[in-house]
A and B are shown apart, each in its own frame.
Chain A
Amino acid sequence: MSKRTASPRQLSSGSDRVFEGLILALAAVIVLVFVLSVYQLGTESWPALQKFGLNFFTSRVWNPVTGEFGAAAMIAGTLVTSIAALAISVPLAIASALFVAEYAPKWLANPVGYLIELLAAVPSVVYGLWALFVIAPILGRWQTNFFTSPENVQTLTRCTELWNNNQTSLECFFVPSSAAGRGLALAIIILTVMILPYTASVARDVIRLVPQDQREAMYALGATKWEVISRAILPYARAGIMGGVILALGRALGETLAVAMVIGDSQDILKSIWGNASTMASVIANQFGDAQEALHRSSVVTLGLSLFFLSVVVNYVARLIIARLTPKGIQ
């Protein structure tokens, strides 16, 4: 782009070099931020990593009193909430993208597309507030009903026994363990809503870029609208949509306050989907401020470091997929 031959070198090379240096120096701050982040998180998590090693990631015990820290429960909580939220939101997001790109007339497509984008603009704390004040009471009422109805007594006794032994079964996983309304399920619901717009907007963009010929060819063969979508549009846009899904996964893994406000902050293993749990991000938000002891602090920062690397990898993969695997012309 910079056609050096086109610029009279003698006239301008000095001032140009100064400007280039200045711009490069400021742009290098981006690299500096990254390097400082790695350094900062690395040195602060070093004590915990040195003490616990890889056990940090496999041990279930997180006990500030005894000074033992293992992150397995939060890692499990992070993965379960993110993957469940992804599983629910992806079909909804793709459907809404199809609506905006293929079904809706223009006067409706634009406002709906804009509303979906606004979903991404709602702050995390506002989602958390809404979940706490509006959805938690609804879930709580359902859980109370489950507790108080006589036909569930047997199930409840059996599951309580399992839970007290720190175990769970598939059946008990779906049995309420408290009537608070908060917990894993609410975190999954709110995460689902929060990551919807990321998949939806990427999906909409790639669906719009599917060449018109693809649609017309199938219509000419007598295909229905759904057949065109399922056999021509979605396969063509698949790679791009996949990139959007992974981008949403990255968001879900790092989403903090909305989850921290509703998940209940418990380092138990995942007993029930209605019970309390925690994620790596929620533990950072809930505990870092109160962590007095050096090892506790270091352990919380280690969660931050893990989250850092996790999101670097996930986002890198997403961008790779969006950039490389999509058919030419779709970026």
Chain B
Amino acid sequence: MSAATTPSRARHQLSPARRVQNLVMGGLIVLATAIVVAPLILIFAYLIREGLGAMNLDFFTKVPAPEGETGGGLANAILGSIEMLAMASVLGVLVGVSGGIFLAEYPRHPLMPTIRMISDVLAGIPAIVMGLVAYGLIVLKFGFSGLAGAVALGFLMIPIVVRTTEEVLKLVPQTVREAGLALGLPKWLVTLRIVLPAAAGGIVTGVMLALARVAGEAAPLLFTAFGNSQINLDPTKPMSALPLEIYRGATSAYDENQRLAKAGALLLITLIFLTSLLARRASRRR
């Protein structure tokens, strides 16, 4: 075999070993990708097959039947999840958006590096540890409650909201701020009336992603919200949530509880996927 004289000819005269290696590695990469994506499709298909049948009117309007009996639904968990997520959002959005504003608009403040670092650190703390913290802070003094669960979830939302808020605020052109200041507006008005509205879409996206993230958390609720087999809207009392009922049902020996858990998992995963799909759409349109 003669040596290649030009680059273009060289490509056609690849040694068999190199060509085979290239093909094999390409094939392995495609195979690996299929393996990575497969669990998602398998889980979704399994939940549709097992859970869809259980999604009737009772599922949304009734509470779980007593152990060993059939029927019932997860109304307690659906309402509990909605209420706790709403309460968690108040904490998560208020502190998270403020944190993001602080990091993006006051970059020279002496406390800025500390707050940035601690916010990053909080993002990595396991959810169950946040559950222990909320237990010590609230449950030890006031008992199990939906509020304690919401605080744990709110703590988990904060770093996600901080991060996305900071990032979208930094995308707002500096000239927009300068224009506002040039009109004689004070900095706080510029921030509130010009910069924040310009970044609102991105901030909403971040909040939605944070909600999607904590909506599936059961670990921090185990010893804060604790769960409740009845519908409870009083935030000072134990409250149920979808992930909690899925956990209980999946580890229960009763077929009926397992059936409800699968339907609950289908509902939860669908809501989470829709939320992140919408968030992605919204952020792409920006």
**By the criterion CB–CB under 8 Å, are A37 and B29 in contact?**
no
B204 interface contact, C-beta 8 A = no
| Chain A interface, >50% SS class | helix
The residue that A123 contacts in the complex, of B11, B25, B269, with Cβ under 8 A, is B269
The residue that B124 contacts in the complex, of A3, A95, A250, A285, with Cβ under 8 A, is A250
**One of B55-63, B66-74, B176-184 at the interface:** B176-184
**By the criterion CB–CB under 8 Å, are A128 and B14 in contact?**
no
Within 8 A of A (CB), among B44-88: 46-47, 50
**By the criterion CB–CB under 8 Å, are A41 and B218 in contact?**
no
**One of A48-56, A143-151, A253-261, A268-276 at the interface:** A253-261
A36 interface contact, C-beta 8 A = yes
**By the criterion CB–CB under 8 Å, are A254 and B105 in contact?**
no
Chain A 288-321, CB-CB to B under 8 Å as 1, else 0, gives: 1100000000000100100110011011101100
**By the criterion CB–CB under 8 Å, are B268 and A41 in contact?**
no
Q: How many residues of A contact B (CB 8 A)?
A: 95
Q: Given the complex, which residues of A lie within 8 Å of B246, measured CB to CB?
A: 123, 125-126, 129
- Give A6 to B178 CA distance when docked, in angstroms: 8
**By the criterion CB–CB under 8 Å, are B125 and A254 in contact?**
yes
**By the criterion CB–CB under 8 Å, are A116 and B37 in contact?**
yes
B106 interface contact, C-beta 8 A = yes
Question: Closest CB-CB distance, A26 to chain B, in whole Å?
Answer: 3
A98 interface contact, C-beta 8 A = yes
Q: How many residues of B contact A (CB 8 A)?
A: 101
A57 interface contact, C-beta 8 A = no
**By the criterion CB–CB under 8 Å, are B265 and A125 in contact?**
yes
A107 interface contact, C-beta 8 A = no
A164 interface contact, C-beta 8 A = no
B197 interface contact, C-beta 8 A = no
- Chain A CB within 10 Å, residue with most, of B21, B125, B218: B125
Q: Given the complex, which residues of A lie within 8 Å of B14, measured CB to CB?
A: 222, 224
Q: Given the complex, which residues of A lie within 8 Å of B121, measured CB to CB?
A: 34, 312, 315-316
Question: Closest CB-CB distance, B250 to chain A, in whole Å?
Answer: 4
- Give A197 to B188 CA distance when docked, in angstroms: 39
**By the criterion CB–CB under 8 Å, are A284 and B39 in contact?**
no
- When A3-B181, A123-B217, A123-B243 are in contact, do A315 and B124 touch as well, CB less than 8 Å? yes
Residue in B closest to A126 when the chains form the complex, CB atoms: B265
Q: Given the complex, which residues of B lie within 8 Å of A44, measured CB to CB?
A: 132, 136
Q: Given the complex, which residues of A lie within 8 Å of B25, measured CB to CB?
A: 226, 229-230
Q: Given the complex, which residues of B lie within 8 Å of A26, measured CB to CB?
A: 94-95, 98-99, 102
Chain B 84-118, CB-CB to A under 8 Å as 1, else 0, gives: 00000000001100110111011111010011001
A134 interface contact, C-beta 8 A = yes
A33 interface contact, C-beta 8 A = yes
- Chain B CB within 10 Å, residue with most, of A129, A229, A311, A315: A129
**By the criterion CB–CB under 8 Å, are A30 and B99 in contact?**
yes
- When A1-B107, A6-B181, A99-B32 are in contact, do A315 and B186 touch as well, CB less than 8 Å? no
- When A2-B108, A134-B46, A193-B39 are in contact, do A128 and B250 touch as well, CB less than 8 Å? yes
Q: Given the complex, which residues of A lie within 8 Å of B127, measured CB to CB?
A: 254, 256
Chain B residues engaging chain A, CB cutoff 8 angstroms: 4, 7, 10-11, 14, 18-19, 21-22, 25-26, 28-30, 32-33, 35-37, 39-43, 46-47, 50, 94-95, 98-99, 101-103, 105-109, 111, 114-115, 118-130, 132-133, 135-137, 155, 158-159, 162, 174, 177-178, 181-182, 184-189, 191-192, 212-213, 215-219, 222-223, 243, 246-247, 250-251, 258, 261-262, 265, 268-269, 272-273, 276, 280
The 7 nearest A-B residue pairs measured at CB: A123-B216, A254-B126, A12-B186, A315-B124, A19-B188, A26-B98, A95-B32
Known A23-B98, A118-B40, A255-B126; further 12 A-B contacts with Cβ < 8 A: A1-B108, A2-B106, A23-B101, A26-B98, A30-B158, A116-B37, A119-B40, A121-B272, A122-B216, A126-B269, A222-B11, A256-B128
Q: Can you spell out 29 A-B residue pairs with CB atoms less than 8 angstroms apart?
A: A1-B107, A1-B108, A7-B187, A12-B187, A15-B186, A16-B187, A23-B98, A26-B98, A27-B95, A34-B118, A40-B133, A92-B36, A95-B29, A96-B36, A112-B37, A119-B36, A122-B216, A122-B272, A126-B268, A129-B265, A133-B46, A134-B42, A224-B21, A254-B124, A257-B218, A261-B251, A285-B222, A307-B129, A312-B121
